[in-house]
Amino acid sequence: MIPTSEKTAPDMSVFETLESEVRSYCRSFPTVFEKAQGYKLWDTQGREYIDFFAGAGALNYGHNHPAMKKKLVDYLMGSNIIHSLDMATKAKEAFLKRFNDIILKPRQMEYKVMFPGPTGANTVESALKLARKVTGRETVISFTHAFHGMTLGALSITGNSFKRHGAGVPLNHAVSMPYENYLGDDIDSLTLLERYLEDKGSGVALPAAIILETVQGEGGINVASPEWLKQVEKICRRWDILLIVDDVQAGCGRTGPFFSFEKAGIKPDIVCLSKSIGGYGLPMALTLIKPEFDEWAPGEHNGTFRGHNLAFVAATESLSFWETDALTRETLRKGEKTKQSLQQIADQHPDLDPVVRGRGLMVGIAFNQTDFAGKVCKEAFSRGLIMETSGPEDEVAKLLPPLTIDDEGLDRGLAILEESIAVVKASLEQ
Amino acid sequence: MIPTSEKTAPDMSVFETLESEVRSYCRSFPTVFEKAQGYKLWDTQGREYIDFFAGAGALNYGHNHPAMKKKLVDYLMGSNIIHSLDMATKAKEAFLKRFNDIILKPRQMEYKVMFPGPTGANTVESALKLARKVTGRETVISFTHAFHGMTLGALSITGNSFKRHGAGVPLNHAVSMPYENYLGDDIDSLTLLERYLEDKGSGVALPAAIILETVQGEGGINVASPEWLKQVEKICRRWDILLIVDDVQAGCGRTGPFFSFEKAGIKPDIVCLSKSIGGYGLPMALTLIKPEFDEWAPGEHNGTFRGHNLAFVAATESLSFWETDALTRETLRKGEKTKQSLQQIADQHPDLDPVVRGRGLMVGIAFNQTDFAGKVCKEAFSRGLIMETSGPEDEVAKLLPPLTIDDEGLDRGLAILEESIAVVKASLEQ
Amino acid sequence: MIPTSEKTAPDMSVFETLESEVRSYCRSFPTVFEKAQGYKLWDTQGREYIDFFAGAGALNYGHNHPAMKKKLVDYLMGSNIIHSLDMATKAKEAFLKRFNDIILKPRQMEYKVMFPGPTGANTVESALKLARKVTGRETVISFTHAFHGMTLGALSITGNSFKRHGAGVPLNHAVSMPYENYLGDDIDSLTLLERYLEDKGSGVALPAAIILETVQGEGGINVASPEWLKQVEKICRRWDILLIVDDVQAGCGRTGPFFSFEKAGIKPDIVCLSKSIGGYGLPMALTLIKPEFDEWAPGEHNGTFRGHNLAFVAATESLSFWETDALTRETLRKGEKTKQSLQQIADQHPDLDPVVRGRGLMVGIAFNQTDFAGKVCKEAFSRGLIMETSGPEDEVAKLLPPLTIDDEGLDRGLAILEESIAVVKASLEQ
Amino acid sequence: MIPTSEKTAPDMSVFETLESEVRSYCRSFPTVFEKAQGYKLWDTQGREYIDFFAGAGALNYGHNHPAMKKKLVDYLMGSNIIHSLDMATKAKEAFLKRFNDIILKPRQMEYKVMFPGPTGANTVESALKLARKVTGRETVISFTHAFHGMTLGALSITGNSFKRHGAGVPLNHAVSMPYENYLGDDIDSLTLLERYLEDKGSGVALPAAIILETVQGEGGINVASPEWLKQVEKICRRWDILLIVDDVQAGCGRTGPFFSFEKAGIKPDIVCLSKSIGGYGLPMALTLIKPEFDEWAPGEHNGTFRGHNLAFVAATESLSFWETDALTRETLRKGEKTKQSLQQIADQHPDLDPVVRGRGLMVGIAFNQTDFAGKVCKEAFSRGLIMETSGPEDEVAKLLPPLTIDDEGLDRGLAILEESIAVVKASLEQ
């Protein structure tokens, strides 16, 4: 790798001149990317980067997977339908069949599939609407540190105050309850929730739904235990509240199994999927709905890009990964390995009070110093590793490598991270 | 064309079994589509359809345009970056440059470009957020029969009661004002708006923004005059209200010029683009912002699919259409021709009180009988023409052919429409 | 009367030192009042004032009416119940019986009587709650320049932007429609309302209720015609919307008949009464409800001061005024006389473009110059006449004398007003 | 006392025929009251009742206190001003001076006095408005089981779901946090609140104010400790949140000292007073505001009944009780005695798991059986004792005798309560 100092500064002028101030990751990773393959990226100056970011979880199968690429090229060459609103197409039919055969049926999951528009926010907004319609209630309970998206409905159940403030209007009809361990190990965070629901004087109305991520990605890699998830499900059943799992980031194998909640054995009423469901990084989202709650009127929720057939083609091909449990096993193995490595790094820096957490290949290391994680990511980038921070104070360095990364790539990335932490720490001690 | 009666019924069972009840267009057009080229579609049984729907305006350049297809295939084959969040990529850089060179500069339009996520709702939600941030106000004024999207913020400024009701919560911070001619020709619809703003006792707060479509597509092909648009702009300037034009459907040449508001000579503070901006029907959206209002903090609005590079590639290529004014001229010519044909059809059926309206190739014919337009579209489908209804009562048959349609295709489609109207009318008279 | 210049400045120091900045009328009328009788007030320095304000309509029967005073003193002396929450008391029973006998029965009005708490805001809040409960809808339609109170629900249907802004939170679930003549004589202001209700794409939901004042007091003495009121009632009937008349200021004989809407012949579903219903200026309010809409659960709305028995005693006695139509006839006569006098004054000052309006003894004169009405009221005060401004720009000098004022008092007050206008005008011309 | 069985059924027909279904206490206490003196009431049939309800805390000095009665009669007889909006009157001046001299000054409390309208809801609504104005924030934090009133703003911070549901619209801009001991003795209920405020990802915005009752009356006689109150104040100071104490029920000596928060030594930014501030049961309320937060514009909050001079006269006289600490000492003594008696009763019925709680003469006994407290109150009424239930499930029998009750009255009331509990228990065991 070329040392930072010798690099030519990348030319970002087009972005700086023409693009809005809202641009963000191009500031953290200030170069122009051009090529990608598997877990690697190259910029226009030929520098190579290891990708521990994976499109914020949209590239679980890595960049430019050859089998999907072939299908996409063939599909394009064949004058097939590209854009179809929600009309029936052969590509959509194939996806539906295969998703049912490979994912739903083997798991004894009977869900109706909704195409709510191509983004995570679309599936979340559709889930909220449906839960409110089905129950006739307005309140939705979400959790501290939740992230569900940037449209107004999704923002209302998102914890981050900077993002919330961006709404410019009050965010209503949502109540934020403490996620597992939010109040430390000694306080069962669901005690409060149950008390609120039981008590007619709590000031909190019976909600339409409880929505949660089983692992909070943007929130700082907070992992809910199977027991806690079961308890939430029990609460939902007791009060006829719909349980929505937002599996946009944690789903599609990120934590090991296809759905992040499989280990807990819960049966959400609605499941939100996006990001890696498109397989190749193409915009796509699904809302899975228990048949008894599929009370939509035709067209009650719609959108122009519900029929993104290129995404269906890649998505269909990507399901081949799920014909066996190989990917799940490998993800769990690599996840464990990653956590062990991180723990070894953590043990070298007790003064930073580092905390390693995660499930599968959704892993993070939290630091007790403001800006430390951010500086580590910056240093890592200069050394050819792409990763970002998460958590309300950006206090967590987050690792989301492609699930398909090989051990060499993983080792190299972890080594860069280890160096970066040491370098940042040394610079602070000067 | 094969007569309806001889057709094999298409097999829709996969969709009926696995897809949510929310599915809609696959009910109106009950077949499985497979191939497409230009203005034509074919289903799995080889039947050909003329497309007067064009992906609800997402396919202004027709299906599978050869030059874009080539660029897409080359891009895919070249191991280029597909998904990039909002990191800088070569494909994005090329798009930004070309969009500036071909679209903005020649029109003396200085706008910052924001990638708000890939859907129309994303650009609308981002526009609302920004207007509220810039002004510190909460209310947004929209118009009767407006359609801006299905996420909570976009729904709050959408007129349709069925869609609004789907929200399941009250839709606040928005005031619906009468669109031009909403109260008939005799009442200047802006009188009310101005009176409300002037009067400290009106009960309507000074808004952050006024948002409008210059031609309301979903609302029933209602066309605002240049004078009315200028008057709205003047009102915005007088009270320091931001003017947002939602050009998601009417933009990208649909009404003739690239932007639908060019003829009116107004300068919106924010412009929302999506649908055909992606060129090939791929999910993409832009929010254009006057530099003085680009007050975003980095990352204040974000999203996973802001960097859909395949869309950038097709979008960049599609801008070639705008190197000359040929497309604009052709669109206006074909639009006039279409309106004349519709007027001739209208004149044959004075009892249906048909009203022809539209601008460019965004044209509609309204009927005075409930369900008539819907029956016409159904009949047209059986005869190989795809078109949909619009308007709050679905009283308008809407024509949105690809701008690239040739005269033969246009004539054939109009002939089917003429027959369909006659057939439906005859059936009602029996 | 003592000329202004010779007066000792009143000592307001206690109020300036101890009372909040929110105090208001004590700034307009800067003296300390001590005694009152009929239409006259005296301050601590013995100066006499004619009262054309009458407690903002709470003193229709004048100050300290002897018969009521006697009843109050007897009641107090008799160790009777003063405070009773909503328990049954003899005083309340007497009021209910007499109100039914004297007011409701002779008018063939069958209403249930609710004691919602002692203020106008209380009755308005209770009316909104009930209308929402009965219909299951949330939106309430109110009118431009409406004033319904200062609590959050009442504020949401009040037009004044200064008052609304005081809420500190967005005021939702209300839509402000143009009052009669709001858009000039040529535009039927209900056209818009009907169009919004008829049209499924208007963006305005079917409301729970329409609430209105038949004469807008705070809004600037805007008078609705009987025809307009009938038309509003018809709209309510057509769409099963509840009609609420807020008769807090215009009721209790202020416009002539007991209820302000009697002349129009409409039958509101809910009527709000307060101010003069207490007879003697004591806090009291009623909500009248058509029996079929009395769907309250016991205690669903409550309050500590629903059983203000002193008010019941005075109120019961005050109903004696309504045993004949004498008060109504006299009010109408004096109202006509007042309007004629004002018109004569108006005719002397065509350059001020004065507009005289009102019904019964709820009369105003509007001026076209900012602050003119305020200066007139100030000048009038210095000459011993108490009256206030109204309207969104305080552009109206408002006359609300006690209904029991005699002709001499009325003439004296009108003479002071005439002088004051002349003096202010002359001072501006210098 | 006449045994129940021999009583003539009271005639409630006027109320049943003419009054709305919303009536409530007249159902619990089904007789027509006529006379009252001190702690005693008599109905129209001459039956005597001991009053342990005291106008829900509005009659701390008992019924018809002779000194106040005299002042009221003299004031009425003297043709003094009765109704004055917020104009300056001699009666108001006297009250302001005396309130400052007797209450504020000796306690080193510098507050501006606002007259927000005559009810508890008025003072609460004014406090919320001011806190939002001063801070520019919208959210207000209230506590579980809080009761602050029935208007829309006050309801939004009230816990009771039945009352909240009555609003008919969503209640927003408020967050309900656990009151002390809400989650049991082991969990510090402020941990959650502090965590929410500290954490930028909590989903709860920095609030304008925290509003609380130091003893929750309607909520079930829940008593906050001085330590907890101090901790809340500390939180407010740390984050520049305004602390509002709603002392409507617990103030005016109910818990011993004039203000319920004196013992805790906290200095609220805003204090809400109503109920017994009027002295004689007449509608009156005050909002006390620290001078630095008195940012009201003149008239920004107003109302017709802010100048209820009869109430000022009684209120001024009632302050004589506060010239010494006799009332405080007696209230504390009688409160202790009451709690001891209740504890003795409780000890007789361990199976009912009775919990005695309270401060001063605001005392309750909670039972573990549904409806038990309600039956006890009903039985007590038949034996000549008036008291009501409180708590979200009406599980608490509440004792609010006049502070001026003598020992004989207190003993007699407690004896009836003891009997009633025994009788109800026996009846359930049959």
Kindly report the nearest CA distance between residue A138 and chain D, in angstroms: 8
Q: Is residue D379 within 8 angstroms of chain C, CB to CB? A: no
What CA–CA distance (Å, rounded) separates D166 from D155?
9
Kindly report the nearest CA distance between residue A172 and chain C, in angstroms: 11
D203·A162 Cβ contact <8 A: no
CA D330-D334-D338 angle, 5° bins? 170
State residue A9's pLDDT score. 79
State residue B5's pLDDT score. 45
Residue type, D204: V
State residue B7's pLDDT score. 57
State residue A2's pLDDT score. 42
From C268, C287, C267, C269, select the one nearest C277 (Cα to Cα): C287
Alpha helices (H) in C11-167, listed in sequence order: 13-18, 25-28, 54-57, 66-77, 90-98, 120-135, 152-156, 161-165
Domain locations in chain B? 4-64+326-429, 67-322
CB C177 within 8 A of CB C189: yes
Residue D392, token pair as written in the block: 């979200």
Q: Does domain D67-322 have CATH number 3.40.640.10?
A: yes
CB A270 within 8 A of CB B71: no
Residue B130, token pair as written in the block: 């920004």
Residue type, A355: V
* Tens of pLDDT, residues C244-302: 999 999 999 999 999 999 999 999 999 999 999 999 999 999 999 999 999 999 999 99
User: Could you give phi then psi for residue D280, rounded to 5 degrees?
Assistant: -115, 10
Question: Around Cβ A397, how many Cβ atoms within 10 Å?
Answer: 29
CB contact set of C238 (below 8 Å; sequence gap of 6+) = none
Cβ contacts (< 8 Å) between B55 and chain A: which residues?
83-85, 304
- Tell me the CA distances in angstroms from A403 to A219, A381, A412, D271, D324, one per residue in order: 21, 20, 15, 59, 78
State residue A349's pLDDT score. 96
Beta-sheet strands, E only, within D301-419: 355-359, 362-366, 385-386, 388-390, 396-399
Q: Across residues C207-221, what is the average pLDDT?
A: 97
- Tell me the CA distances in angstroms from D276 to C119, D148, D221, one per residue in order: 18, 16, 18
User: Could you give phi then psi for residue A47, rounded to 5 degrees?
Assistant: -75, 145
Fold of the domain built from segment(s) A4-64+326-429: Aspartate Aminotransferase, domain 1 (3.90.1150)
State residue D242's pLDDT score. 98
Residue A252, token pair as written in the block: 């599609």
Kindly report the nearest CA distance between residue B112 and chain A, in angstroms: 5
Q: Which residues of chain A have pLDDT under 50?
A: 1-5
pLDDT at B333 over 90: yes
Tokens 């009027």: give the residue.
D278
CB B168 within 8 A of CB C207: no
CB D208 within 8 A of CB D241: yes
Q: Which stretch of DSSP H or E encloses residue C170?
A: none
* Tens of pLDDT, residues C125-169: 999 999 999 999 999 999 999 999 999 999 999 999 999 999 999
What CA–CA distance (Å, rounded) separates D282 from C282?
9
State residue C9's pLDDT score. 78
Q: Which stretch of DSSP H or E encloses residue A378?
A: helix A372-382
User: Could you give phi then psi for residue D182, rounded to 5 degrees?
Assistant: -60, -30
Could you tell me the pTM of the whole model?
0.96
ipTM score: 0.97
CB C420 within 8 A of CB C349: no
Closest residue on chain B to A37 (Cα): B79
Cβ contacts (< 8 Å) between A170 and chain C: which residues?
169-170
Alpha helices (H) in D358-406, listed in sequence order: 372-382
Q: Is residue B161 within 8 angstroms of chain C, CB to CB? A: yes
CB B374 within 8 A of CB B389: yes
CB contact set of C294 (below 8 Å; sequence gap of 6+) = C112, C114, D20, D21, D22
* Tens of pLDDT, residues D237-284: 999 999 999 999 999 999 999 999 999 999 999 999 999 999 999 999
Measured distance between the N- and C-terminal CA atoms of chain C, rounded to whole angstroms:
27
Kindly report the nearest CA distance between residue B103 and chain C, in angstroms: 34
CB C50 within 8 A of CB C413: yes
State residue D7's pLDDT score. 57
User: Buried b vs exposed e over B361-399: b needs ≥16 C-beta within 10 Å?
Assistant: bbbbbbbeeeebbbbbbbbbbebbbbbbbbbbbbbbbbb
State residue D2's pLDDT score. 42
pLDDT at D20 over 50: yes
A203·D170 Cβ contact <8 A: no
- Enumerate long-range contacts of B331-337, CB under 8 Å, 24 or more apart: B331/B253, B331/B254, B331/B255, B331/B256, B331/B360, B331/B361, B331/B403, B332/B256, B332/B360, B334/B361, B334/B401, B334/B403, B334/B405, B334/B407, B334/B410, B335/B255, B335/B256, B335/B359, B335/B360, B335/B361, B335/B362, B335/B363, B337/B407, B337/B410
Share in percent of chain A as helix, strand, coil (round to 5) = 40, 15, 40
Closest residue on chain D to B136 (Cα): D136
SS3 D251: coil
Closest residue on chain C to A172 (Cα): C170
State residue A5's pLDDT score. 45
What CA–CA distance (Å, rounded) separates C210 from A422?
69
Residue B156, token pair as written in the block: 């709050």
- Tell me the CA distances in angstroms from B418 to B332, C285, C301, one per residue in order: 21, 66, 62
Residue type, B226: P
Q: Which stretch of DSSP H or E encloses residue A342?
A: helix A326-348
C-alpha dihedral, A43 to A49 to A52 to A54, nearest 10°: 30
Based on its alpha-carbon atoms, the radius of gyration of chain B, rounded to whole angstroms, reads 22
Residue D64, token pair as written in the block: 């018809």
Residue type, D105: K
What CA–CA distance (Å, rounded) separates A269 from B5?
42
Q: Is residue D169 within 8 angstroms of chain B, CB to CB? A: yes
Cβ contacts (< 8 Å) between A201 and chain D: which residues?
144-145, 159-161, 219-220, 391-392
Kindly report the nearest CA distance between residue C53 and chain B, in angstroms: 22
Interface test with D, best of A139, A141, A144 (most D CBs within 10 A): A144
pLDDT tier, C2 (very low <50, low <70, confident <90, very high otherwise): very low
Angle between helices B189-198 and B226-239 (to 10 degrees): 0
Q: Is residue A169 within 8 angstroms of chain C, CB to CB? A: yes
A22·B299 Cβ contact <8 A: yes
pLDDT tier, D175 (very low <50, low <70, confident <90, very high otherwise): very high
State residue C293's pLDDT score. 98
- Tell me the CA distances in angstroms from C248 to B245, C147, C308, C360, one per residue in order: 44, 10, 18, 15
* Tens of pLDDT, residues B3-32: 444 557 789 999 999 999 999 999 999 999
CB C194 within 8 A of CB C237: no
Kindly report the nearest CA distance between residue A157 and chain D, in angstroms: 7
Q: Across residues C322-335, what is the average pLDDT?
A: 98
D19·C55 Cβ contact <8 A: no
C150·D118 Cβ contact <8 A: no
pLDDT tier, D5 (very low <50, low <70, confident <90, very high otherwise): very low
